[in-house]
Amino acid sequence: MRELMYLQAINEAFAEELERDEKVFLMGEGIQTGTFGTTTGLVDRFGPDRIMDTPISETAIAGAAVGASLMGYRPVADMMFSDFMYIAADEILLKAAQWRLLQGGTQQLPCVFVANIGGYRKLGNEHSQCPYSMMLHNPGLKVVIPSTPYDAKGLLKTAIRDNNPVIFLYHKGLLPVMGEVPEEDYTVPFGVADIRREGTDVTVVATSFQLFWAEAAADMLKDEISIEIIDPRTLEPLDIDTIMTSVRKTGRVVIVDEDTERCGFAGELATQIMERGFYDLDAPIKRVCAKNYPIPGGIMEKFVLPQPEWVVQAIKDVMVD
Amino acid sequence: MRELMYLQAINEAFAEELERDEKVFLMGEGIQTGTFGTTTGLVDRFGPDRIMDTPISETAIAGAAVGASLMGYRPVADMMFSDFMYIAADEILLKAAQWRLLQGGTQQLPCVFVANIGGYRKLGNEHSQCPYSMMLHNPGLKVVIPSTPYDAKGLLKTAIRDNNPVIFLYHKGLLPVMGEVPEEDYTVPFGVADIRREGTDVTVVATSFQLFWAEAAADMLKDEISIEIIDPRTLEPLDIDTIMTSVRKTGRVVIVDEDTERCGFAGELATQIMERGFYDLDAPIKRVCAKNYPIPGGIMEKFVLPQPEWVVQAIKDVMVD
Amino acid sequence: MEFGKEDLIKLYVNLVRTRAFDRAAIKWLATGKLLSFYHPAEGGEAPGVGGTTFLRKDDVISPHLRGHGLPHMIGKGVDPKRYMAEHCGKATGFGNGLGGFHSAMDEFGMFGGTGTLGSCFPLSAGWGLAAKKNGTGQVVVCFFGDGTSNRGTWHEAANMAAVWKLPIVWVCENNGVAQYMPIQDAYPLEDLANMASAYGMPSAVVDGQDVVAVAEAVMAAVEMARNGDGPSFIECKTARFSAHGIGNPDKLHGKDRTTEDIAKLRERDPIVLFRTSLLEKGVLTPDDVERIDQEAVAEIDETEKFIDESPFPDDPALLDAALYAE
Amino acid sequence: MEFGKEDLIKLYVNLVRTRAFDRAAIKWLATGKLLSFYHPAEGGEAPGVGGTTFLRKDDVISPHLRGHGLPHMIGKGVDPKRYMAEHCGKATGFGNGLGGFHSAMDEFGMFGGTGTLGSCFPLSAGWGLAAKKNGTGQVVVCFFGDGTSNRGTWHEAANMAAVWKLPIVWVCENNGVAQYMPIQDAYPLEDLANMASAYGMPSAVVDGQDVVAVAEAVMAAVEMARNGDGPSFIECKTARFSAHGIGNPDKLHGKDRTTEDIAKLRERDPIVLFRTSLLEKGVLTPDDVERIDQEAVAEIDETEKFIDESPFPDDPALLDAALYAE
Ligand SMILES: Cc1ncc(C[n+]2csc(CCOP(=O)(O)OP(=O)(O)O)c2C)c(N)n1
Ligand SMILES: Cc1ncc(C[n+]2csc(CCOP(=O)(O)OP(=O)(O)O)c2C)c(N)n1
Ligand SMILES: [Mg+2]
Ligand SMILES: [Mg+2]
């Protein structure tokens, strides 16, 4: 099958959905040029009214996306770095997420917020975060964090077609990664986890870029430990059933997630697993997350962001007794 | 001992710290009048330069507090409703919280963000939340949620004297509650939980206003179940040791917290307890939290916000087998 | 826009109905029928009523919080029954009992309200963008208070509206105070309309107690916007006769507003002023006035009956249905 | 302010040093010595240098991202060694290797940088408030780009500064572009200085390629602020000679900037213009020029040596110490 880079897969998903539905439009800072290539070239095909370069006004971009979605458009707000979404927290976490319910549940808000996540580039706290736990914490948003070109394209198309606000977060570290992407139209449904590798000793739930660490660890340990790796792909809706089926089989769990540990997705998932499968667990669940510090600039980030050896260690830890 | 209302205790803490240290000042919307009584009257004693009424500019209020703290002042930013802190998310969650580490850790940012939390007033999502889990998630902030007049005063004084940004959240439902408050100067240290009631069967960790539900439940069940109730008082720093000592004794845990369940404090604490005391637990930990919906306006909030009977049920649930 | 006799009467009727509903809301809050809180419109009805009465049904409005949007809704032609039912928490409300004081009436171009002041600005930019894109001539009229104008969201939205020439009219209801804060301590110039000059936006300052002056200024701006000439700014100098919210002290900077201050404001009651002028001009007779008052009373009674007969919502499943659209 | 010969030479030296450091940063990024990213200052050095060279040491500055604050730091009198060490991730950096391109030099009134553009505005309001409170005559000079001026935070901070008469000078470095966006598509008027009129704030538009003009305008505004006359706004029309950041395409709306466009900008190189004028006036001789260039080269060499000899931080305990103050 044809291979594309993750960033090309995203770009192609945009192009196809722009083509398919004239209500779809994109807006964001410099998107006609495209800071990360995900929107590059689209303006040549769809024109500046549908690929809108905006002023540096994150709050207005996000709020305008919400507004336009209420009037039947399907805006995609490109927020560039997900860290900049803090600037539009009211617009994204309260307006986009909660408007529908607060007005009685009769409206539709089909908008997508797209942004990059992730560290390992020594850029410091405001260009490195994975702030999706905050988005999960404020009910009303669907949250999508694809780890492959295939999923990036298929999930982005689903996101744009969804009648609810969706957060679509692509990882900087994945942008140049190649993978198979069919030529035909396809979508990937929300709420269906991907079992990336089957195993019987330990369940490793890993997200986005962290799947690299999980797979590297599984490779390293393959002669000793049989590891099942699960990529939830969407964090809301979350395919807890697939995870629980795996947990019931292995009894041991490591969660690898790049967002900050405290009050993060990993703790949430650990608690949900415990609530549902306490008696199936043979050892305490281990979290491998960004440690509870701001992400420093420079090389010190290596002490904060999850490292491959932390995953190996966590897997060994849950195998004890 | 003298009794004061919770709101008076807060007011008195402000007055004493304003008196004690001329670098302390307050700013916020309408604080010279005082929307909830917590700042009422202070302007008569300390004048408008230290009790500053501001324009409706949450972002600038919060950012200015951060700025002034870097220059040796000890500003208190009154954000009125904690829901409005979303508007200043960049300023509070990234600037206040993370500035010090990102500049190398040599500066001090002694600022306090004060706001009310809590529902049960039918005001809907943007006047009812308890958004401290988001504050815990972004490292660098201390988070204080007092449940009694005594603690409100003592913790607020500690907050103002702390050389770091502190979030001080008082619950609307507690404002008129009376309690003993000494006349003499005292402070309550951060990171020390309060064992509100001793017991041997179940550990109930409850926060802020939820202590009422926890105590009501314990009263109801007192002939059947011996319940230990712990108020962490500060969520960061968190007195996990006191909680673990209790868990080792009881083996059963219910966490009652008004913030939204998903990626919230309760799940974080549940995970921390599991990580440290997995083998001490006799049953899965139960969370009683706001359900994963926006808080509706009107009476429908009763289906979302924790209710006393939910606590009773959760305690019974953890007693099974 | 030229206003005929019918137009003037319509404005007057809407003002009277607004005040009747405002008083009802105050009473119903006291008796526990109305839930949460209420911020009375009395004295500040004209900007909302004048700014909406002559809009197209599909024009979009973002109501200001004062009177919880009643002046704007009534002007826009919404029957307030289901809005008031919502505010009383009833299942028959526009928000099915989930919204409280928020609630949307999409078919009247009201997509709903919010609790954070100033979040209306980015949303209005989005509505304006959609209106421009769909090319049907829809206009967005965004109403907000003097205090709310200090939110940074206005700058972003106003700039976006100006640079993209969006069909938006910003209507500032400047009643001189924001809760307990006088506007002269929150903004350095006399007229908030100066804010428009930062974006080269046309602006006007009008007597906000003169409902006709408001309607004229707003409708001129609306015509401009409809013709593709972009956004503009109307500042209405109006008043707040009572305290910020029911149960709040009527203070500024911690000091009581004096009875003289209030009495002076009340001299320029927008309804009294307009009634006097309509009676003088012979557009209305004393009998008409009497009848209009009685009709308003009847409408309130009918609304109260509707509310009282409506059930409270009582099904948690409503939440699941309301959380996500299909 | 009257500038004497020494002053002019100081300005010139600071411009030359700025460009030398800018070039070094570009080179060091290419070789992996400088970490993360870099946004070159070339063509836009004069606002930063002119706006800071004559400030008091305790005046507060908020540098713009362009050149990552090098023009401003150098003007302010900071030895860039430890700043560059920080940017190279070294333990000897101003941020002890924790900050990267952020880092504070409190004793020079630089409390640090941020990653989110426009968060400088509320912080500057706070610095201005502290400066007003402490009564020492400190002034805050906040530098920002044309693109950054579109953030709503500016409105809130500027309004607060105006209404409280805070000693703040807003210096807009308008280079006509924000990353890939021309300012004429992001703001509706010719001059960003119009933004000041919303708050009745004095403003001036100056040739940002003329370092003396910048210094004059900024220092006049600084004097006003020092005297308690409140904030003002200086717009410097400047230029960006290269792409937004190293490794980025030099495009606007997805189309390449033409070589003619760039050539035209380069005709007004602030260093060349100033050098020519100083040589003409006899303030500098060709020998001086040569010597100043060589001194700058020597300073770069020394800085590089310092960086190369500095260790990387390697102790996670640094994080605990940096998270909270005692
Ligand atoms: C973002 C935000 N800040 C503060 C409040 C609290 N609040 C509600 S009404 C009000 C005053 C609004 O003043 P103005 O805009 O002048 O409207 P008015 O009440 O005078 O009609 C305030 C501060 C809020 N709801 N949202
Ligand atoms: C809040 C925020 N939005 C976007 C960015 C990404 N960004 C970095 S520099 C830049 C352009 C800034 O333009 P301008 O203010 O004109 O400064 P210039 O680069 O032209 O000197 C952008 C969009 C950011 N860092 N922060
Ligand atoms: Mg007002
Ligand atoms: Mg620029």
Q: Is residue A172 part of a domain?
A: yes
User: For residue D153, which residues of chain C lie inside 8 Å, CB to CB?
Assistant: 152
Q: What is the 3-state secondary structure (H, E, C) of chain B?
A: CCEEEHHHHHHHHHHHHHHHCCCEEEEECCCCCCCCCCCCCHHHHHCCCCEEECCCCHHHHHHHHHHHHHCCCEEEEEEEEHHHHHHHHHHHHHHHHHHHHHCCCCCCCCCEEEEEECCCCCECHHHCCCCHHHHHHCCCCEEECCCCHHHHHHHHHHHHHCCCCEEEEEEHHHCCCEEECCCCCCCCCCCCCEEEECCCCEEEEECCCHHHHHHHHHHHCCCCCCEEEEECCEEECCCHHHHHHHHHHHCCEEEEEEEECCCCHHHHHHHHHHHHHHHHCCCCCEEEEECCCCCCEHHHHHHCCCCHHHHHHHHHHHHCC
Six token digits for residue B79:
């954000």
Percentage of chain A modeled with pLDDT above 90: 99
User: Can you give the pLDDT at residue B252?
Assistant: 98
User: Can you give the pLDDT at residue B320?
Assistant: 86
Q: Is residue A206 part of a domain?
A: yes
Of B154, B180, B206, which residue is a domain's last? Answer: B180
Residues B105 and B166 in one domain: yes
Residues A7 and A37 in one domain: yes
User: Can you give the pLDDT at residue C101?
Assistant: 87
B78 lines ligand 1 (CB under 6 A): no
Average pLDDT for chain D: 97
Tell me the nearest-neighbour CA distance from B303 into chain C, angstroms.
Answer: 6
Q: Is residue B185 part of a domain?
A: no
Residues B172 and B234 in one domain: no
Cα–Cα distance between D208 and C167 in angstroms, integer?
35
Q: Do C133 and A100 touch (CB under 8 A)?
A: no
Domain that holds residue B220: 194-320
User: Can you give the pLDDT at residue A304?
Assistant: 98
Q: What is the pLDDT of residues C147-198, one digit of tens each?
A: 999 999 999 999 999 999 999 999 999 999 999 999 999 999 999 999 999 9
Which residue numbers in chain C have pLDDT < 70? none
Dist. CA D246 → ligand 4 center (Å): 15
Q: Do B104 and D95 touch (CB under 8 A)?
A: yes
Which residue numbers in chain A have pLDDT < 70? none
Residues B221 and B124 in one domain: no
User: For residue C248, which residues of chain B lie inside 8 Å, CB to CB?
Assistant: 35
Residue D1 clears pLDDT 90, i.e. is over it? no
Does residue B238 contact residue B260 with C-beta atoms inside 8 Å?
A: no
Q: Do D123 and B105 touch (CB under 8 A)?
A: no
Dist. CA D146 → ligand 2 center (Å): 9
pTM here is 0.98
Residue B272 clears pLDDT 80, i.e. is over it? yes
Residues B123 and B270 in one domain: no
Dist. CA D202 → ligand 4 center (Å): 22
User: For residue C318, which residues of chain A lie inside 8 Å, CB to CB?
Assistant: 105
Percentage of chain D modeled with pLDDT above 70: 100
C148 lines ligand 1 (CB under 6 A): yes
Q: Do D123 and B90 touch (CB under 8 A)?
A: no
Q: What is the pLDDT of residues A83-104, one digit of tens each?
A: 999 999 999 999 999 999 999 9
Paired sense of beta strands A24-28 and B24-28, if any: unpaired
Average pLDDT for chain C: 97
Dist. CA C150 → ligand 3 center (Å): 11
Does residue C51 contact residue C75 with C-beta atoms inside 8 Å?
A: yes
Q: Is residue B189 part of a domain?
A: no
Residues B140 and B205 in one domain: no
Q: Quick one: which atom of ligand 2 is closest to the CA of D244?
A: 19
Q: Most B CBs within 10 Å: which of D106, D111, D140, D170, as the mutation test of the B interface?
A: D111
D69 lines ligand 2 (CB under 6 A): no
Write the ipTM.
0.98
Residues B172 and B66 in one domain: yes
Percentage of chain B modeled with pLDDT above 90: 99
CATH number of A154's domain:
3.40.50.970
Q: Which domains are seen in chain C, by residue range?
A: 5-311 (3.40.50.970)
A33 lines ligand 2 (CB under 6 A): no
Residues A76 and A122 in one domain: yes
Our count of domains for chain B comes to 2
Residues B140 and B49 in one domain: yes
Q: Do C198 and D197 touch (CB under 8 A)?
A: yes
Dist. CA A59 → ligand 2 center (Å): 15
User: For residue D152, which residues of chain C lie inside 8 Å, CB to CB?
Assistant: 151-156
Q: Is residue A262 part of a domain?
A: yes
Residues A100 and A150 in one domain: yes
Q: Which of B263, B133, B272, B267 is nearest to A264 (CA)?
A: B263
From residue C56, alpha-carbon distances to A72, B131, B240, C70, C109 in Å are 19, 40, 61, 18, 9
More confident residue, D101 or D22: D22
Task: Check A74, A95, A100, A127 and give the catalytic one.
Answer: A127
Residues A135 and A220 in one domain: no
User: Can you give the pLDDT at residue A51?
Assistant: 98
User: Can you give the pLDDT at residue A207?
Assistant: 98
Q: What is the pLDDT of residues D65-116, one digit of tens each?
A: 999 999 999 999 999 999 999 999 999 999 999 999 888 999 999 999 999 9
Residues A156 and A249 in one domain: no
Q: Is residue B198 part of a domain?
A: yes
A32 closest CB neighbour out of D37, D180, D316: D180
- Touching A: which chains, 3+ CB pairs < 8 A? B, C, D
Of B145, B180, B215, which residue is a domain's last? Answer: B180
Q: Do C163 and A108 touch (CB under 8 A)?
A: no
User: For residue B236, which residues of chain A lie inside 8 Å, CB to CB?
Assistant: 262
Tell me the nearest-neighbour CA distance from A89 into chain D, angstroms.
Answer: 14
Using an 8 Å CB-CB cutoff, list residues of chain C that contact chain D: 150-156, 159, 162-163, 185-189, 194-200
CATH number of B209's domain:
3.40.50.920
Q: How confident is the model at residue B85 (pLDDT cuts 50, 70, 90)?
A: very high
Q: Do D318 and A300 touch (CB under 8 A)?
A: yes
Return the residue of A nearest to C166 by Cα: A64
D152 lines ligand 2 (CB under 6 A): no
Paired sense of beta strands B178-180 and B166-171, if any: unpaired
Average pLDDT for chain B: 98
